[in-house]
Amino acid sequence: MLKTSIFLFAMLVVMNCYCQQVPQLFEPGFISNGGVFGLAISPDGNTALWVRSNGKRDTLVILQSSKMNGSWTKPVIASFSTTDAQWKDIDPIFSPDGKTVLFQSTRPVPDRPNRTGFDIWAVGKTATGWTAPYHLGNVINTDASESYASVTRKGDIYFMKENPTKAGNSDIYVSRKVNGVYQEPENIGLPVNTEKFRESNPFISPDEDYILYFSSDSTGYGEVDIYISFRKNDKWSSPKNLGAKINSALAEFCPFYHEKEKRLYFSRQKKGEGRMYEDLYFIDFDLKKYND
């Protein structure tokens, strides 16, 4: 009897360890329902934001849930997002201190009535909700689309920008914040950006010592895979594919690492007939494993 109990306990430990190494759906059926992507969780772990796509991306709305007594509340439309699909809102990401959320929107831009692409906006988080959203200006934003913006502790913003030359379709850029003013965006260059492939969805660490992003590199496992690069002596290291446990034959995108939880969150997309199936995943993640 004792041997049987020990065996069963050992099997449970092994199964638990195995599950920790396989990406898990985030709140299956309740939040991950086949039509969502771009999850962000506040540094304290109590607020979640993500994008409702309904699988077709004709309507893109930011939803919100709060953690109460260990459970996530019923999702609602975030107060700073569109309620009637007048425009599209995507890619919410919290600042390292949790006081600001960056997101992108096609809503009307002050002094740019003809702009139709995505621009970077921000909203402040308060004890009672959200401030009014504000546009980050026309130095960091242009008539090309900018998306998936994340911010360092110093205030520098990394984001995806469409290439005017269409080489690789998109690259990752950074706009430095100097004396409170965003500077002309700079292409972060090789080895992260390439001429041949598409690079996008950059999540920059609070201290700018690593970056997670996706690439369409044809040596990967699927349509787009998630990669990581570390910043050493002001240079980015050769990017590493996160491997087959995370990347698949499908498309993985929208990565972010939650430092408190030690988890990698990301989205996964499967193309179906007439729509896409998109869901949110997480996995325990050891940064040191990739930094050698």
What's the number of domains the chain is made of? 1
From the centroid of its chain, how far is CA 209? Answer: 17
Q: Is the pLDDT of residue 162 over 90?
A: no
Q: Average of pLDDT values for 246-254? A: 97
**Domain presence at residue 73:** no
Q: What is the pLDDT of residue 239?
A: 97
CA nearest neighbour of 246 among 204, 288, 282, 202: 282
Residue 163 has pLDDT above 80, yes or no: no
The pTM assigned to this predicted structure is: 0.91
Whether residue 7 lies inside any domain: the answer is: no
Examine the pLDDT at 263 and tell me if it is beyond 70.
Answer: yes
- The least confident of 2-11, 164-173, 196-205, 214-223 is 2-11
Domain membership flag for residue 76: no
pLDDT value of position 96: 98
Q: What is the pLDDT of residues 13-46, one digit of tens each?
A: 444 444 458 999 999 999 999 999 999 999 999 9
CB burial of residue 206 (10 Å; 0-12, 13-18, 19+): middle
Enter the tokens of residue 126.
């308060």
pLDDT for the residue 273: 87
Check whether 3 has a pLDDT greater than 90: no
Q: Beta partners for 226? A: 214
pLDDT value at position 9? 45
* 16 vs 248, higher pLDDT: 248
292: which residues sit within 8 A by CB, 6+ positions away?
none
Q: Which domain holds residue 97?
A: 37-44+86-290
The region of weakest confidence among 89-98, 161-170, 210-219 is 161-170
64 located within any domain: no
C-beta atoms surrounding 28 within 10 Å: 12
Q: Is residue 267 part of a domain?
A: yes
Round to whole Å and give the CA distance between 26 and 46.
14
What's the CATH number where 206 sits? 2.120.10
Q: Is residue 126 part of a domain?
A: yes
User: For residue 102, is it within any domain?
Assistant: yes
Residue 223 lies in a domain: yes
pLDDT mean over 204-222: 97
Q: Which residues contact 63 (CB under 8 A, 6 or more apart)?
A: 36, 49, 50, 51, 52, 75, 76, 77, 78, 81
Which residues neighbour 94 within 8 Å (Cβ) at sequence distance 6 or greater?
40, 41, 42, 43, 47, 49, 100, 101, 125
